[in-house]
């Protein structure tokens, strides 16, 4: 009400920054609700309450509930790109991936993130639009990792590594599989896990695909 007092700038439409802030505010609230109740059991009333605004007003920022879900999925998908970029910023991309294990595990182990991730995957299984978003984000991340990896192998003088995409997919799967566990059984901090994980990643990324590797260990 009195909040609409003009800053001398008249009754101009809220600047884009304002709008973005509001959207972020809703998104944050929605993420909380969705984590707790899932996409479909979280009511718009609950979201609006958590966001500190009226139900009706949310519809100024999002066309409907599905749009909120989509925006959240988008936001979540961006995160992997951040990780990619942080690896790229380091001198040795390969080593960065292995060194990133500890932080990766810590992320995988956060209940709230895990819950939302599972919610998103479940939604993707039934909502083609969401599936498509995930597919695109996945494509981008895969390409990014592959190109950086290719460069890393080259710098190391290795042959152009074969089956790069399969490698990246598997490293990703390792983390995502752990995220899945988190929802029912958060892993306590575990050095053994990190160590074994590093070894697994190293094995996946290594390029010597000698026949022996498929044999039983020792």
Partner DNA sequence: GATGAATGAGTTTTCATTCAT
Partner DNA sequence: TATGAATGAAAACTCATTCAT
User: Hey, which residues between 122 and 151 contact its own copies (CB under 8 A)?
Assistant: 122-126, 130-132, 134-135, 138
Give the contacts of 119 (CB within 8 A, at least 6 positions apart): 34, 35, 38, 39
- Site membership for its own copies, residue 38 (CB under 8 A): yes
Q: Applying CB under 8 A, which of residues 14, 19, 36, 86 lies at the interface with its own copies?
A: 36
In the bound state with its own copies, the residue whose beta carbon lies nearer, of 24 and 59, is 59
Q: Where are the beta strands (DSSP E) in 34-181?
A: none
Phi, psi of 206 (to 5 degrees): -65, 150
172 binds, among DNA, its own copies, none (CB under 5 to 8 A by kind): its own copies
- Site membership for its own copies, residue 44 (CB under 8 A): no
- Residue (of 78, 75, 84, 102) closest to 168 by Cα position: 84
- Site membership for DNA, residue 24 (CB under 7 A): no
In the bound state with DNA, the residue whose beta carbon lies nearer, of 5 and 214, is 5
Window 10 to 29, contacts with its own copies (CB under 8 A): none
Q: In whole angstroms, how close is the CB of 19 to its own copies at the nearest point?
A: 18
**Which of 9-17, 90-98, 123-131, 175-183 is the region at the interface with DNA (rule: CB under 7 A)?**
9-17
Window 48 to 67, contacts with DNA (CB under 7 A): 53-57, 59-60, 64-66
Kindly write out the interface string for residues 170-199 of this chain, putting x where it contacts its own copies by CB under 8 A and - elsewhere: x-xxxxxxx-xx-xxx-x--x-xx-xxxxx
d(CA 32, CA 51): 10
**3-state SS assignment for residue 78:** helix
- Indicate the length of the chain as a whole number: 218
Q: In whole angstroms, how close is the CB of 63 to its own copies at the nearest point?
A: 15
4 binds, among DNA, its own copies, none (CB under 5 to 8 A by kind): DNA
**Which of 19-27, 44-52, 57-65, 205-213 is the region at the interface with its own copies (rule: CB under 8 A)?**
205-213
d(CA 93, CA 66): 37
- Site membership for its own copies, residue 205 (CB under 8 A): yes
- State which H helix or E strand residue 95 sits in: helix 93-99
- State which H helix or E strand residue 164 sits in: helix 164-182
- Site membership for DNA, residue 35 (CB under 7 A): no
Q: Show contacts of 166-172: CB within 8 Å, 24+ apart.
A: 167/204, 167/205, 168/142, 169/142, 170/204, 171/97, 171/201, 171/204, 171/205, 172/141
């Amino acid at each position: 009400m009195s909040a609409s007092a003009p800053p001398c700038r008249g009754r101009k439409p809220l600047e884009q920054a304002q709008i973005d802030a509001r959207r972020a505010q809703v998104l944050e609230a929605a993420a909380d609700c969705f984590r707790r109740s899932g996409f479909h059991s979280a009511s718009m009333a609950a979201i609006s309450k958590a966001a500190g605004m009226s139900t009706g007003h949310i519809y100024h920022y999002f066309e409907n509930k599905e749009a909120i879900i989509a925006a959240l999925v988008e936001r979540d998908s961006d995160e992997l790109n951040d990780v990619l970029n942080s690896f790229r910023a380091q001198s040795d991309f390969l080593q960065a991936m292995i060194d990133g294990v500890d932080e990766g595990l810590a992320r995988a182990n956060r209940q709230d993130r895990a819950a939302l991730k599972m919610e998103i995957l479940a939604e993707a299984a039934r909502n083609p639009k969401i599936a498509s978003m995930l597919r695109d984000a996945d494509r981008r991340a895969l390409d990014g990792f592959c190109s950086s990896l290719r460069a890393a192998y080259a710098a190391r003088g290795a042959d152009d590594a074969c089956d790069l995409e399969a490698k990246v997919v598997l490293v990703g799967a390792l983390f995502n599989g752990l995220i899945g566990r988190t929802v029912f059984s958060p892993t306590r901090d575990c050095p053994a896990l990190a160590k074994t994980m590093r070894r697994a990643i190293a094995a996946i990324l290594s390029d010597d695909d000698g026949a022996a590797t498929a044999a039983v260990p020792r």
